[in-house]
Amino acid sequence: MEFQPTSSFTFVLFGGTGDLSMRKILPGLYEAHRAGMLEASGKIVAVARHADDRDGYLQWVNEHVKAHVSTNGIDENAWSSFLERIEYVKLDLGKAEDFVKLRDAVQDLPGTRVFYLATGPSLFVPICRALASVGLNENARIVLEKPLGYDLRSSNAINDAVGEIFAEGQIYRIDHYLGKEPVQNLLALRFGNALFEPLWRREWVESIQITIAEELGVEARGDFYDNTGALRDMVQNHLLQLLSIVAMEPPHSMDSDSVRDEKLRVLRALKPIDPRDISKVAVRGQYHAGVIRGTSVPAYATEPGVKTDSATETFVALKVEIENWRWAGVPFFLRTGKRLADRVAEIVVNFRAVPHSALGSSALRPGANRLVIRLQPNETIRLYCLAKKPGEGMNLSSVHLDLAFDQFFKEGQMEAYQRLLLDVIHGRLALFVRRDEQEAAWKWVEPILNEWAASGKPKPYAAGTWGPAAASAMLAQHDTCWLEEEN
């Protein structure tokens, strides 16, 4: 497979010894390097304070990154040449002279400068101001990780401060779900084929489910998570971004603003949540002790860093409506949670049953025709329909058609972070969140946040289950159920 390498670049990674850098960012850059997708002169400058020098940092990288490289394993020659790209600057964010040292380290390096802030959001503004103080904000790109703020007000405060230093076209707010291969294929299926577009509307779609479920708990992030919760951590960004991709109108082109304009229209068309109706359309839960795959796990309230009387939600299920011509009356069910029965992220499009069946009642049941887009753990797209069972009589059974891209394309799938990192280096903004998108999402979730802050505790659910029973009851009111409940 031949790739077009990037133009030259200097990639400056703040939080260079952090978990995100070790698990996602450096593995993504290594995979791009191994595939020949990075310009040979491009450099990676890691910024941290834990390692004393470059040798110490490279030892840290050797110990912590290799385990997170894809199933292709490590090519030792490629790994050695990848490490040659890496420089290191020991930096204390509280010392202005350290940013002078960073400027001196990068000023003679080639290409576009990318500053990736793999840090907590409280450091975004101080880092940006310090970069500007030494003139490193010009002709550069800045990548901001989520969460960007705690609510609309704090998000705007960060965006205002960063926007004084970097223009909107320089700011890349990352949401790695938008870089996943099946999400890209969803765009291709919808806008590259005539097959689905006539069906992709209220006349033919009964309901849509979007689920991001995790088996893991809060791990070592108890302090962070207890002040965040599932609504801020997953719904405001990942789930609403996926919703906007599913529901958007066809853009006139795939340039960055055309795509993001259409996503913004969806977010602005979300039916506002009336605080009096939140109990009907929103379910929050918190996991208690349970068993996952034969292993006992503790309750959320006993996790390190979590307050014993915490009212933070670890599960959210929502019924969402879009008030526009295409989707009026179609319920979108969003769900996310920790310590659930399985690790899965998927989009389920349930098409309406045929209006009349001469073949028996099975052709009239909901979900007989559906499209399931699996984002993780295995990335697939599967179309379900009915077919006749072999033998006597006209007996129907559900069958599926797999869109097996790996059977047609010999290239390996690109990981989400790898794709997004290359997009930053190339200057492509389409898969990154624009400020007005982010504001629209915060405005929509804020009534839920405010109501939950003023009301009682989340509903309990046992770890290893699919969340509170109320989440299933919410769907039952619409004569449907979550995909796993059908079996």
* DSSP codes of every residue in 91-118: --TT-HHHHHHHHHHHTTS-SEEEEEE-
Claim to verify: residue 301 and residue 231 sit in the same structural domain: yes
Specify if 348 maps to a domain.
yes
Specify if 23 maps to a domain.
yes
Claim to verify: residue 219 and residue 79 sit in the same structural domain: no
Specify if 233 maps to a domain.
yes
The pLDDT assigned to 406 comes to 67
CATH number for the domain that contains residue 224: 3.30.360.10
Residues forming beta bridges with residue 383, ordered by sequence position:
371, 401
Separation between Cα atoms, residue 445 and residue 294, nearest integer Å: 36
HSE, CB side, 13 Å, CA atoms: give it for residue 269.
22
- Can you give the pLDDT of all 487 residues of the chain as single tens digits? 344 556 799 999 999 999 999 999 999 999 999 999 999 999 999 999 988 899 999 999 999 998 898 767 788 999 999 999 999 999 998 888 899 999 999 999 988 999 999 998 889 999 999 999 999 999 899 999 987 888 999 999 999 999 999 999 999 999 999 998 888 888 888 898 888 888 999 999 999 999 999 999 998 888 989 999 999 999 999 999 999 999 999 999 888 899 999 999 999 999 999 988 999 999 999 999 999 999 999 999 999 999 999 999 999 999 999 999 999 999 999 999 999 999 999 999 999 988 777 776 666 676 788 999 988 888 788 899 888 888 877 878 788 888 766 677 766 678 899 999 999 999 999 999 999 999 999 999 999 999 999 988 999 999 999 999 999 999 999 989 999 998 6
The pLDDT assigned to 16 comes to 95
Claim to verify: residue 185 and residue 133 sit in the same structural domain: no
Active-site amino acid positions: 238
Specify if 423 maps to a domain.
no
Specify if 428 maps to a domain.
no
Cα 120 versus chain centre, distance: 17
Specify if 83 maps to a domain.
yes
Q: Is 165 helix (H, G, I), strand (E, B) or coil?
A: coil
Claim to verify: residue 297 and residue 359 sit in the same structural domain: yes
CATH number for the domain that contains residue 70: 3.40.50.720
pTM over 0.85: yes
The pLDDT assigned to 440 comes to 97
Claim to verify: residue 191 and residue 323 sit in the same structural domain: yes
Claim to verify: residue 282 and residue 405 sit in the same structural domain: yes
Residues forming beta bridges with residue 186, ordered by sequence position:
none
Residues 243, 442, 375: CA angle, nearest 5 degrees: 30
Q: What spatial distance separates the first Cα and last Cα of the chain, rounded to whole Å?
A: 41
Domain range for 128 = 9-145
**Which of 47, 41, 50, 49 lies closest to 10, judged by CA?**
41
Q: Are strands 295-297 and 290-292 parallel, antiparallel or unpaired?
A: antiparallel
Claim to verify: residue 189 and residue 116 sit in the same structural domain: no
Stated as kind and residue range, the H or E segment containing 386 is strand 380-388
Report the domain count for the chain. 2
